[in-house]
């Protein structure tokens, strides 16, 4: 079963607007990662946030992590048409070898020019 | 550096045929893994390896075999292809033996089993 669940499944916005995607997970984690996938391509790593961190920034990306609610959000500010892609969260489990990164089903973001 | 290279990009098989999906990385990564991606189901882990000679099963290992004889290569073998194995397959690698670092993905192999 999938560890992470993204919400919404699909999001359509205008260029320049902000896009927020959410991820919820079920078990304790060591870290949470966000990836982007352009149509027909492999996944590209965006940002990693560890369980002892609450917020992280990278360029126009802002990720928050709330371990008490087992949830994370990805904010893309001032979106561009080139941000159109699927976005996946992935969790690295705590407590075991940590060798199994588990992905959610993704959010399809469409940025209209 | 080429990163993670997957071959072939596309493949069509008949039910019962066997084939090997190739994955190679030139970053000296210890961790390598195979995922399959199906519509509406995200990515599911098939097998992974934390170093040469060490492999383990993921979430959906049935019907697939792997081996890791070198650090660079991690081939995925389908012994007797079934239509349920129609999917896009991704290989990924990482510097870390655990999932505490980011994954580098290949561009994928689109497999159709008729």
Closest to B90 measured CA to CA, from B30, B29, B47: B47
> Collapsing DSSP states into helix, strand and coil, what is residue A83?
helix
Q: Which of B25, B36, B42 to mutate to test the interface with A (most CBs of A within 10 A)?
A: B42
- pLDDT tens-digit series, residues B12-25: 999 999 999 999 99
Q: Which of A101, A104, A107 to mutate to test the interface with B (most CBs of B within 10 A)?
A: A101
Q: Closest partner residue to A104 among B33, B42, B98, by Cβ?
A: B42
Amino acid A1: pLDDT: 44
Is B30 in CB contact (< 8 Å) with chain A? no
In this complex, do A42 and B106 lie within 8 Å of one another by their Cβ atoms? yes
The predicted model gives B88-110 an average pLDDT of: 90
Question: At which residue do the structure tokens 């489990």 appear?
Answer: A93
What's chain B's average pLDDT?
Answer: 94
DSSP letters of B31-81? EEEEEEE-TTS-EEEEEEEEETTEEEE-S--TTEEE--SSSSB--EEESS-
In this complex, do A43 and B105 lie within 8 Å of one another by their Cβ atoms? yes
Q: How confident is the model at residue A96 (pLDDT cuts 50, 70, 90)?
A: low
Measure the CA–CA gap between A45 and A32, rounded to whole angstroms.
11
Contact B91, B29 (CB under 8 A): no
Cα dihedral B75→B79→B83→B89 (10° resolution) = -10
Report A:26-55 residues touching B (Cβ under 8 A).
Answer: 30-31, 33, 35, 40-45, 48
Tokens of B47: 């097998």
- pLDDT tens-digit series, residues B69-95: 999 999 999 999 999 999 999 999 998
- pLDDT tens-digit series, residues B52-63: 999 999 999 999
């Amino acid at each position: 079963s999938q560890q992470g669940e993204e919400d919404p499944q699909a999001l359509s916005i205008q260029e320049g607007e902000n896009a927020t995607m959410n991820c919820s997970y079920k078990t304790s984690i060591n870290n949470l990662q966000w990836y982007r996938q352009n149509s027909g391509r492999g996944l590209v790593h965006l940002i990693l946030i560890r369980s002892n961190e609450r917020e992280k920034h990278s360029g126009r990306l802002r990720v928050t992590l709330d371990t008490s609610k087992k949830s994370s959000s990805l904010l893309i500010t001032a979106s561009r048409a080139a941000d159109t892609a699927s976005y996946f969260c992935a969790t690295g489990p705590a407590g075991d070898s940590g060798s199994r990164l588990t992905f959610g089903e993704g959010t399809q973001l469409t940025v209209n020019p | 550096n080429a990163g993670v290279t997957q071959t072939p990009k596309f493949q069509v098989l008949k039910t019962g045929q066997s084939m090997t999906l190739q994955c190679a990385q030139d970053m000296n990564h210890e961790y390598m893994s195979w995922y399959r991606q199906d519509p509406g189901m995200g990515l599911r882990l098939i097998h992974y390896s934390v170093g040469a000679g060490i492999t383990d099963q993921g979430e959906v290992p049935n019907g697939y075999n792997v081996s890791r004889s070198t650090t660079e290569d991690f081939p995925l073998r389908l012994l007797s292809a079934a239509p349920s194995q129609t999917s896009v397959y991704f290989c990924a690698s990482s510097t870390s033996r655990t999932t505490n670092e980011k994954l580098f993905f290949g561009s994928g192999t689109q497999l159709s089993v008729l």
